[in-house]
């Protein structure tokens, strides 16, 4: 399914759906038949397996009470490690290098608190101007805690066009004043995939630590964090991994740092055999589990037991193949059907650089998104002018994509968007 001959009619979409080896997984999810969901890169849909896993965890609580820590279908004491082992193949790591814990920003704070060790003139952190704001807030906060000015010590690499980052510019920022680099794997607006392998090699050649925010890539594209020798990474699990709103996050730590005391120590980072000794001298786990802080949020982690079982069956390579075809088909339809309506495709067209969503730029983007919702299409708006549309391999169909473009064409031709204000809602 990597190649096809484009035609604009609905018949091609039907044919692609008939050939889709992952189409059988659509029935695993609660897909609202009255709407077309194109926002899986913000919040994935609920699967029946995830729902069952939550119910099973509730049953463990009901039947075992405090003994649920070590008894029941999903014992809580080792739940984070069990989930880490399920995520590990998706990020190219060994099971003990991954832990499901915390949230994106909490995990970033933990990792920077651990690995950011300014010395001499090496005090600066390199990030980028297109990154998600929460990452920037956390880096600014960590610099202040260390007594440094974010204005002087946080380098945000500029974009040349407002959409993409150039790796040459990032590498040029890796001077001998830099202690750490923190970058997204995929830019959340444009969907550009950064060359993580190259950037890691360039950072290490300059004795600089490097970590990645995988929120928009984990579950959408293959990774090889271990092979690339990435120092650390962190991500959320509620987007492409369908872990549910507020799902527990995840992090990866290169095994060369095992045994290092975490910057933000907490009792759940202890060696499992020592944790309940209640000693005031911490013995950290000899795995990524050391970077846990508090008691796991069991009911916010449980959905992943079900969700990740689907990924284990399907494999990230098959998911990526279908995702690329979905977005290629989407862009071909847009070029054919929406020409003349003022849209610009703001994501990479190169498959090696394109993540899991299509980014449409338009001066009236906010009100177009509102019109799409009125037409039973769920998109995502990102200021100032971007409509993100994410067909997800596990539950989106090619017919969905075809229908979205037809509805968008009608919205533009009939100027349905003009009745809405061109400003975002409180939650975009």
- The answer on whether 105 is annotated among ligand-binding residues is yes
- The answer on whether 114 is annotated among ligand-binding residues is no
- pLDDT score at 369: 98
Pairwise CA distance, residues 375 & 408, whole Å: 9
- Residue range 264-285: average pLDDT? 96
Is residue 29 very low, low, confident or very high in pLDDT (cuts 50, 70, 90)?
A: very high
Number of neighbours of residue 106 by Cβ within 10 angstroms? 17
Instruction: Tell me: pLDDT of 426 over 90.
Output: no
Residue-wise pLDDT tens digits, 89-113: 999 999 999 999 999 999 999 999 9
Instruction: Tell me: pLDDT of 427 over 60.
Output: yes
Instruction: Tell me: pLDDT of 2 over 60.
Output: no
- Residue range 421-425: average pLDDT? 84
Pairwise CA distance, residues 366 & 91, whole Å: 34
233: its two tokens: 């990474």
Beta bridge partners of 100: 250
Determine if the peptide bond prior to 195 is cis (ω within 30°): no
- The answer on whether 39 is annotated among ligand-binding residues is no
State the chain's mean pLDDT as an integer.
97
- The answer on whether 116 is annotated among ligand-binding residues is no
In a domain, 169, yes or no: yes
210 and 143 in a common domain = yes
201 and 325 in a common domain = no
Residue-wise pLDDT tens digits, 132-163: 999 999 999 999 999 999 999 999 999 999 99
In a domain, 342, yes or no: yes
**The domain spanning residue 412 has which CATH number?**
3.90.1150.10
Contact status, residue 83 vs residue 74, Cβ threshold 8 Å = no
Could you give the number of structural domains in the chain? Answer: 2
230 and 303 in a common domain = yes
362: its two tokens: 């338009």
In a domain, 42, yes or no: no
- pLDDT score at 78: 97
Pairwise CA distance, residues 377 & 395, whole Å: 15
208: its two tokens: 């600089």
Contact status, residue 248 vs residue 233, Cβ threshold 8 Å = no
399 and 330 in a common domain = yes
149: its two tokens: 């000015």
Q: What percent of the chain has pLDDT over 70?
A: 99
320 and 302 in a common domain = no
- The answer on whether 195 is annotated among ligand-binding residues is no
Residue-wise pLDDT tens digits, 60-86: 999 999 999 999 999 999 999 999 999
- pLDDT score at 1: 46
Contact status, residue 125 vs residue 206, Cβ threshold 8 Å = no
Is residue 38 very low, low, confident or very high in pLDDT (cuts 50, 70, 90)?
A: very high
Instruction: Tell me: pLDDT of 314 over 60.
Output: yes
327 and 302 in a common domain = no
Q: What percent of the chain has pLDDT over 90?
A: 97
**The domain spanning residue 177 has which CATH number?**
3.40.640.10
342 and 282 in a common domain = no
- pLDDT score at 4: 84
- pLDDT score at 39: 98
324 and 300 in a common domain = no
Pairwise CA distance, residues 301 & 316, whole Å: 21
Instruction: Tell me: pLDDT of 416 over 80.
Output: yes
Residue-wise pLDDT tens digits, 361-380: 999 999 999 999 999 999 99
- The answer on whether 134 is annotated among ligand-binding residues is yes
Contact status, residue 238 vs residue 44, Cβ threshold 8 Å = yes
327 and 304 in a common domain = no
Pairwise CA distance, residues 297 & 80, whole Å: 9
197 and 293 in a common domain = yes
- The answer on whether 238 is annotated among ligand-binding residues is yes
- The answer on whether 332 is annotated among ligand-binding residues is no
**Range of the structural domain that residue 415 is part of:** 10-30+315-419
Number of neighbours of residue 148 by Cβ within 10 angstroms? 18
- The answer on whether 132 is annotated among ligand-binding residues is yes
In a domain, 410, yes or no: yes
- The answer on whether 328 is annotated among ligand-binding residues is no
Among the candidates 293, 313, 333, a domain finishes at 313
- pLDDT score at 422: 85
Among the candidates 281, 297, 313, a domain finishes at 313
Contact status, residue 249 vs residue 234, Cβ threshold 8 Å = yes
- The answer on whether 185 is annotated among ligand-binding residues is no
342: its two tokens: 């003022």
In a domain, 427, yes or no: no
Among the candidates 263, 288, 313, a domain finishes at 313
């Amino acid at each position: 399914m990597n190649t096809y001959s484009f035609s604009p009619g609905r018949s091609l979409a039907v044919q692609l759906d008939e050939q889709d080896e992952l189409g059988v997984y659509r029935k695993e999810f609660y897909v609202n038949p009255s709407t077309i969901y194109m926002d899986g890169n913000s919040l994935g849909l609920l699967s029946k397996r995830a729902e069952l896993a939550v119910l099973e965890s509730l049953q463990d609580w009901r039947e075992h009470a405090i003994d649920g820590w070590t008894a029941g279908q999903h014992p809580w004491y080792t739940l984070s490690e069990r989930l880490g082992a399920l995520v590990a193949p998706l990020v190219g790591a060994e099971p003990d290098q991954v832990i499901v814990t915390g949230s994106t920003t909490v995990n970033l704070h933990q990792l920077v608190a651990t690995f950011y060790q300014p010395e001499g003139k090496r005090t600066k952190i390199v990030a980028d101007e297109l990154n998600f704001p929460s990452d920037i807030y956390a880096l600014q906060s960590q610099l202040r805690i260390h007594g440094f000015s974010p204005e002087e010590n946080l380098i945000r690499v500029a974009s040349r066009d407002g959409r993409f980052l150039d790796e040459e510019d990032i590498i040029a920022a890796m001077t001998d004043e830099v202690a750490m680099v923190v970058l997204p794997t995929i830019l959340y607006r444009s969907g550009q995939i950064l060359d993580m392998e190259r950037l890691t090699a360039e950072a290490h050649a300059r004795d600089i630590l490097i970590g990645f925010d995988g929120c928009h890539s984990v579950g959408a594209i293959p990774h090889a964090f271990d092979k690339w020798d990435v120092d650390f990474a962190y991500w959320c699990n509620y987007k492409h991994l369908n872990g549910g709103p507020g799902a527990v996050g995840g992090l990866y730590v290169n095994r060369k740092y095992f045994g290092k005391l975490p910057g933000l120590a907490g009792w759940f980072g202890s060696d499992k055999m020592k944790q309940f000794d209640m000693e005031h001298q911490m013995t950290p786990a000899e795995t990524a589990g050391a970077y846990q802080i508090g008691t796991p949020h069991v009911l916010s982690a449980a959905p992943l037991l079900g969700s990740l079982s689907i990924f284990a069956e399907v494999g990230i390579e098959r998911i990526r193949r279908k995702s690329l075809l979905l977005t290629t088909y989407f862009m071909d339809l847009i070029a054919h059907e929406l020409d003349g309506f003022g849209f610009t495709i703001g994501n990479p067209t190169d498959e090696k650089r394109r993540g899991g969503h299509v980014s449409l730029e338009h001066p009236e983007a906010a009100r177009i998104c509102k019109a799409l919702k009125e037409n039973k299409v769920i998109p995502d708006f990102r200021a100032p002018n971007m409509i993100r549309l994410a067909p997800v391999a596990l539950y989106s169909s090619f017919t969905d994509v075809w229908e979205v473009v037809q509805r968008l064409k009608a919205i533009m031709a009939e100027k349905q968007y003009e009745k809405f204000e061109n400003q975002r809602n409180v939650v975009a």
